[in-house]
Chain A
């Protein structure tokens, strides 16, 4: 088949189809990473098949085949996602259906439907990701889709892409003010109409399981976990412990979170309190990171018995902010319920025997729990233990292997080992994961906490003192706590962002970009009732309600329609009259006012001669006007400069009534 494709050979419909396909593919492309691969393959096959049909001028696949494929595709989605609901299954369904629609696309109407599917894919894309970086791509794709929609509906000669892009661009600019005002004024409903299903897909971030190597793996990522803006000064770096998940169950290698008991715990703040707003990047889980220890939280959150803050209803699937208050110094009021004590003393039978023995011996040699803790920390500090991002793999009895053999580990190794030793010594202990530290962005005045700040530490129960944080990493690598991972790691360790941080300009650019993103997050993505209220107060409306907003929307629409109608009337104004003709018409009006109207049969020559005869004092001017007019009209290459002379003469002419 020597079908060398030439552009002229493609039918107008084929060209439209090609544009629609490219718009659709661009709209679906951002979904590629989280879609089941087979849906993309199916779409690709459908695109290929449709192009083949068009180029070879074949018939479309028969209806029974299309129905069959669509049916199995539907089953496939159901099988892959176990549901047809939610964003993921919905997107997969959208992609599959776009492919199926492509196979039956024959008319302009079908093409329109495909463009609309493209819009829907863009929409779903925003549900996944609202990053500023993504916006230009999304807008460009929306523009392309709209221009394509216009070209699809040009039935005569196909409209050049540039013209369509220009026209739709202008229309988008005209629509933009209305869209913006609608966005500002439209009443936001608190909460959701229906539950947002959690996404199955794992995102980077801490999990409710902790195995050796988990945190160090996470530390490679410089993705942002959350941002914090303090009312007032931020706590010193060594106190920036962002409490996340509390883990209780240990199986000898992995820590898991058991069912927390709902026993209210009273935390008495004793030190300085910090009020702040924390904006969490979506992590698909329901825990909320908070400065240790949270003392006040909004209604949408709840604090569990093990002092972990969680959302009341939905996991955090979108960028979400919480206003919290924490106190870095606190006392948990005694006593510890027996059930909880037992949970946090439990150790797997027969695992890590050497460690257990070490703990019992150590505990026997000292007088108190506090002294025991000090002894363990001293052991980490004084013996040969190393803090590293690339710890060696551990054997089945991971604590034994780490304490007596490899002696190299990241924070989770130390926290895990410490907790096991404490439990073995009869001290209730648990592992807490979260983040530690954060980078202050002076441009935006907030703290950025990244995945590389992920951390794990221990919490022990001391009678009389309550739950007390013990961070064994601080004993091994105090720089980690004071100045961050970068400072704690020797030069050859792969700390993320090290090059960036050490380069002043790059570092500033990075901070500026993050500040811009934060502004975007706070002002656009998080825009809601609060911001509406604030805006309303700025223009003097105190009690902003749905009524005022409705009025604003009605007003906006009216203004928009009026402005657009006026603009379009101006755009569609009649063609300009010939300027020479316009000046002559002005002269005729002027003379008519002086009772010297032009008679219908008179040309300029006759008319002006007659006027000159009637008004001899004007004869000279009229003569010049006549000669310039004649020249402008009848000379082969009239000098347009003379037009201004003509205008001047006509304007200066004073004709008196007689």
Chain B
């Protein structure tokens, strides 16, 4: 467009039109510098990533901090899977961006790269910078289809739990212990200032499970992991205690989100090079 304007202005010998053309061109060059500077010198760091199941999309969190004394506009991060909504970062402030990355295989998913970008001020130029951040996300195996119930295994049921617990009938309260599922806390009682109480249910499924790798003989590794993953998830959401037995690892029966995470992580990293290195 500028070139057309330039030709026209020169042809008509029209100095004001030429002046406007030069002004717009100079403005474009200025905008380019502003675009570059807008991005230059920001501090970027990763802020983790919640674990996901295979097939889901991992959302890496990236924090960008503006240490300069004027605001930065329209900062965004992008990768080949998309771009986070641009944000404005005031001086001394930081902003949280989420960048997604599909998780195709279990194990560790490293964030391959992230592009820091801005289109400020006029959207004519896009300043960008490719960064390799040390960020990874744990990808749990894909939970298998529901259907196969876990075999009842020999567990220490009854020795530590004098009340058979299930989730069929409400049975009363007991006081909170670390590891109890947040969903089971009686928040209404807490609101009445009765302390943290956990709701107990009496049910028929009395047994706690130790999900055993060896009970799934004859299936391939991934299918076994998938199924174990499904059982762990179901048991966790039902509030049942469970344990996990893998060839190199036994996680004793327990409850709560931390326990679930530990089990799922073990499944995710099963036979994984890095896990061996850590072990």
A-side residues, CB < 8 A to B, are: 108, 112, 116, 119-120, 122-123, 126-127, 130, 135, 138, 142, 146, 149-150, 152-157, 159, 167-168, 171-172, 174-176, 178-179, 182-183, 186, 188-189, 192-194, 196, 317-318, 524-528, 560-561, 564-565, 568-569, 571-576
Q: How far is the CB of A641 from chain B (nearest CB, A)?
A: 25
Interface check B30, CB cutoff 8 A: yes
B1-45 interface bits toward A, Cβ cutoff 8 Å, 1 = contact, 0 = none: 100010111111111111111111111011101100100110000
Instruction: Report whether B23 and A172 are in contact in the complex, using a CB–CB cutoff of 8 Å.
Output: yes
The answer to whether B15 touches A189 (Cβ under 8 A) is no
Cβ B74 vs Cβ A155 within 8 A? yes
Contact A568 B25 (CB under 8 A): no
Q: Which of B239-276 contact A (CB under 8 A)?
A: none
Q: When the two chains form their complex, are residues B22 and A561 in contact, meaning their CB atoms are under 8 A apart?
A: no
CB pair A167 B121 closer than 8 Å? yes
**Is B224 on the interface with A (CB-CB < 8 A)?**
no
List 6 A-B residue pairs with CB atoms under 8 Å apart, sorted by A's residue number: A120-B5, A150-B120, A188-B13, A192-B13, A527-B15, A569-B37
Tell yes or no: B170 within 8 A of A by CB. no
Among residues of A, the one whose C-beta sits closest to the C-beta of B27 is: A175
Q: Which residues of B does A touch, CB under 8 Å?
A: 1, 5, 7-27, 29-31, 33-34, 37, 40-41, 67-70, 73-74, 85-88, 91-92, 119-123
Instruction: Report the minimal beta-carbon distance from A316 to chain B, rounded to whole angstroms.
Output: 12
Contact (Cβ within 8 A) B121 A575: no
How far does the Cβ of B37 sit from chain A's closest Cβ, in whole Å?
4
Report the Cα distance A421→B229, complex, angstroms: 117
In the complex with contacts A112-B123, A175-B27, A183-B18 CB distance below 8 A = yes
Closest chain B residue to A572, Cβ basis: B68
- Chain A residues lying within 8 Å of B122, measured Cβ to Cβ, are 146, 149-150, 153
Within 8 Å CB of A572, what residues of B? 37, 40-41, 68-70
A123 lies within 8 A of B5 (CB)? yes
Closest residue of chain B to A177, judged by CB?
B26
Contact status B5-A525, CB under 8 Å:
no
Report A-chain residues with C-beta under 8 Å of the C-beta of B37: 565, 568-569, 571-572
Cα separation A560 to B25 with both chains bound (whole Å):
13
Contact B33 A142 (CB under 8 A): no
12 more contacts with CB within 8 A, not counting A183-B18, A525-B16, A574-B67, are A135-B16, A138-B20, A149-B123, A152-B123, A157-B88, A171-B30, A178-B29, A182-B26, A186-B22, A188-B10, A193-B11, A525-B15
B26 touches A176 (CB 8 A): yes
Whether B18 lies near A155 (C-beta < 8 A) is no
Contact of B17 among A126, A146, A176 (CB under 8 A): A126
| CB-based contact A575/B12 at 8 Å | no
A194 x B123 contact (CB < 8 A): no
Contacts of A135 in B (CB 8 A): 16
- What residues on B are CB-neighbors of A179 within 8 Å? 19, 22-23, 25-27
Given contacts A127-B12, A150-B121, A572-B41, contact A565 B33 (CB under 8 A): yes
Tell me the complex Cα distance, A152–B122, Å. Answer: 8
- Given the known inter-chain contacts A155-B86, A156-B85, A171-B34, please indicate yes or no for A123 contacting B9, CB distance below 8 A: yes
- In Å, the complex CA distance between A175 and B22 comes to 9
Are B20 and A122 interface neighbours, CB within 8 A? Answer: yes
- Kindly list chain B residues whose C-beta atoms are within 8 Å of the C-beta of A130: 14-16
Contacts of B68 in A (CB 8 A): 571-575
C-alpha spacing A362/B17, complex, angstroms: 60
With A150-B121, A186-B22, A569-B37 in contact, is A318–B85 under 8 Å at CB? no
Give every chain A residue within 8 A of B73 (Cβ-Cβ): 154, 159
Q: Which residues of A contact B17 (CB under 8 A)?
A: 123, 126-127
Please give, as numbers and ranges, the residues of chain B lying within 8 Å of A153 by CB-CB distance. 74, 119-123
CB-contact partner of B88 in A156, A193, A564, under 8 A: A156
Q: How far is the CA of A182 from the CA of B88 in the complex (A)?
A: 34
Q: Closest 8 A-B residue pairs measured CB to CB?
A: A153-B123, A175-B26, A178-B26, A126-B17, A126-B16, A568-B37, A179-B23, A179-B26
Shortest Cβ distance from A122 into B: residue? B20
Q: CA–CA, A528 to B121, complex, Å?
A: 34
**Bound-state Cα–Cα, A189 to B85, Å:** 48
Chain A residue nearest to B1 (CB atoms) is A116
- In the bound complex, residues from chain B placing their C-beta under 8 Å from that of A127 are 8, 12, 14, 17
Q: With the chains together, A565 CA to B40 CA distance in Å?
A: 11
Alpha-carbon distance between A402 and B26 when the two chains are bound, in angstroms: 63
CB proximity of A551 to chain B, nearest CB, Å = 18
Closest chain B CB from A194 CB (angstroms): 6
The verdict on A146 contacting B74 (CB below 8 Å), with A120-B5, A157-B88 known, is: no
Q: Which residues of A contact B24 (CB under 8 A)?
A: 119
The 8 Å CB contact of A575, one of B1, B23, B85, B92, is B92
**Residues in chain A near residue B121, CB distance under 8 A:** 150, 153, 167-168, 171
Assembled-state Cα–Cα distance A641/B88 (Å): 36
A117 closest partner in B (C-beta)? B1
Cross-chain contact B18 with A156 (CB below 8 angstroms): no
Question: B15 near A524 (CB under 8 angstroms)?
Answer: yes
B29: contacting residue among A525, A527, A560, CB under 8 A: A560
Which A residues are CB-close (under 8 A) to B16? 126, 130, 135, 138, 524-525
Complex Cα distance, B13 from A192, in Å, reads 7
In the assembled complex, the CB of A501 is this many whole angstroms from the nearest CB of chain B, namely 31
Q: Are B20 and A318 in contact (CB under 8 A)?
A: no
Find out whether the CB atom of B69 lies under 8 angstroms from the CB atom of A574.
yes
Whole-angstrom distance between the Cβ of B95 and the nearest chain A Cβ: 10
How far apart are the CA atoms of A70 and B22 in the complex, in Å? 32
Across-interface contacts of B87 in A (CB, < 8 A): 156
How far, in angstroms, from A361 to B250 measured CA to CA in the complex? 139
B20 touches A183 (CB 8 A): no
**Cα-based distance from A73 to B45 in the complex (angstroms):** 55
| A residues less than 8 Å from B30 (CB atoms) | 171, 174-175, 178, 564
A564 closest partner in B (C-beta): B33
- Cβ-neighbour of A561 out of B18, B20, B33, B119 (below 8 A): B33
State the Cβ distance, A581 to closest chain B Cβ, in Å: 15
Chain B residue numbers with a CB within 8 Å of A176 are 23, 26
8 Å CB contact of B34 from A122, A317, A561, A568: A568
Q: Which residue on chain B has the smallest CB distance to residue A527?
A: B15
Give the CA-CA distance A576 to B122 in the complex, in Å.
29
Q: Which of chain A's residues have a CB closer than 8 A to the CB of B8?
A: 123, 127
A154 touching B22, Cβ below 8 Å = no
By a CB distance below 8 angstroms, the chain B residues around A561 are 29, 33
Chain A residues with Cβ below 8 Å from B21 are: 123
Do A154 and B33 have beta carbons less than 8 Å apart? Answer: no
* Bound Cα distance from A175 to B17, whole angstroms: 16
Are B119 and A571 in contact, with the CB atoms below 8 A?
no
The minimal Cβ–Cβ distance linking A168 to chain B, given in whole angstroms, is: 7
Q: Which residues of A contact B9 (CB under 8 A)?
A: 123, 126
Chain A's nearest CB lies how many Å from the CB of B190? 37
